[in-house]
Amino acid sequence: MLDGKLLIGGKWKTCDRKFDSLDPATGDVLGRACLAGVEEVTEAVKVAKLAQESWNKIDISERAEIVARIGDELLKKSQEIKKLITIEMGRPLFESNIEVSKTSEIVKYFANEGKKFLEGDEVPINHDNFSFTRYEPVGVVGIIKPWNYPLLLPLWSIAPALISGNTVVFKPSDLTPFVGIEIGKICQDAGVPDGVINVVTGDGFTGKSLVSSDIDMISFTGSSDTGKNIMKNSADKLHRISLELGGSDAFIVFKDTDIEGAINGAVWGRFMNCGQVCISPKRIFVEDDIADSFIEGFVRKTMELVIGNGSDPDTDIGPMVSKEQRENLELQVEDAVRKGASIKCGGKRPLSLQNGYFYEPAVLTGVTYEMSVMNEEVFGPVAVISAFENMDEAIALANMTKYGLGASVWTKDQDIAMRMSSQLKCGMVWVNEICTLHPQCPWGGIKHSGMGKDLSRYGIREFVSIKHVNINMGTDKTRSWWFPYGKYG
């Protein structure tokens, strides 16, 4: 059984309060992790503040070398890490392996490009004056991340935060504490100095304690409601905040597209990670002329997916992460059916897999915006499909949501693609592609999907303050706008 401790000031510490981490495929207890409270969080923030002064004095090239070693350590331990991800949150091993390799790629990207992204700009003013900008670390960053990508999401914030000269207090999800603990071990193995990275496991109260602490910034990924509470709790101290929140992304298919490619993309996009992805297509809209064919093909592909324990290499769909997540999903499906939606396939617990939190991928049609599956985030393996008549209707339907994370458009017509990408109200648009991320490209949404960016040059600059420096090199003893004003008559 795994034994979880807290990483504070370079030392692994135990505590009296513990909580269980479960294998969602079996319901078995994997281990017990520490439930950090106010005292432990306060200590972690204190040592992070002390470490930040010396960490920031280290040349950025040296900091980048240390962060690059984190990427190397991820690859060295990839077999162990992917198995840990799979048993703690249920994802198939194939997807866990991709998460490890992609995380390493992102960490190394920031290590290689961070120095360039943090070089200030010269700003010419006039013959006597010039200005320049400096990027300086915020200080101590509290990083709170969810369970659905327990390695990727923390490290795509930890890496730029460290390179920028900040120190970190990281609070992983209470559903995946041991992946979070592994991140702390990897950072230590890579040579991150004591106190620069601290890991406090726990529940929602632990997160609230971190937000209420003497922190300088909060980087959060999770639900929109929790993001709003973080904003409220950060108001008194004016913490810097970066929020990547929920989504209800549209997947829009026009009749001129390659329908087989669109179906394949939609099935993978919606059901990868058991549908527990903020950026996955939650609402699928198909042009009338091909709607029946699309639905038929989508249902057929869905029914071919293999449901099972993520440790089995043949598994396509693992369990949901927890009993509560599955129950929430079931309530959303029941609401839709009660209000007139039809289930084309799935939508129940598989009889052959009773011990874990499994749910057969479902396809719903006949949906309306009176149903929660259309106006709330659906975080599980449920796809909803409806038809549209023309482009204007597609735009209106896609934008009929409080969320604004991403969208996917499928068409061979570049004019349609460009018009759609300009009129969809979201932070990211894919054309003939779905759910791909590249370290070079910004990631983030608008509206209730959050604020700030991850990845790219924009992502690393979330973790710095911009200082303007102005220098006057002239010899004038006064200025025309200085006192006394009477001389101007």
Tell me the H-state helices in 304-371: 323-338
325-330 contact pairs (CB < 8 A, 24+): 325/276, 325/357, 325/379, 325/380, 326/357, 326/359, 326/380, 328/379, 328/380, 329/359, 329/378, 329/379, 329/380, 329/381, 329/382, 330/359
- H/E stretch holding 211 reads helix 204-211
**Has 426 been annotated as catalytic?**
no
Count the residues in the chain.
Answer: 489
Q: 3-class SS at 395? A: helix
Q: Which one of 73, 113, 244, 376 is the catalytic residue?
A: 244
Q: 3-class SS at 267? A: helix
Q: Which one of 278, 376, 377, 462 is the catalytic residue?
A: 278
Strand-by-strand arrangement of the 464-472 sheet? 122-124, 129-137, 464-472
Phi-psi domain of 228 (left: phi exceeds 0; alpha: psi -120 through 50; beta: other): alpha
Buried b (16+ CB within 10 A) or exposed e, 130-164: eeeeebbbbbbbbbbbbbbbbbbbbbbbbbbbbbb
Q: Is the dihedral of CA 376, 381, 386, 391 positive or negative?
A: positive
Distance in angstroms (rounded) separating the CA atoms of residues 151 and 153: 6
Tokens 């209420």 sit at which residue?
Answer: 212
Nearest to 416 by CA among 385, 445, 395, 388: 395
Q: 3-class SS at 363? A: strand
Residue 53 φ/ψ, nearest 5 degrees:
-60, -50
Write the DSSP string, 351-362.
Answer: TT--SS-----E
Which residues are catalytic, by number?
A: 244, 278
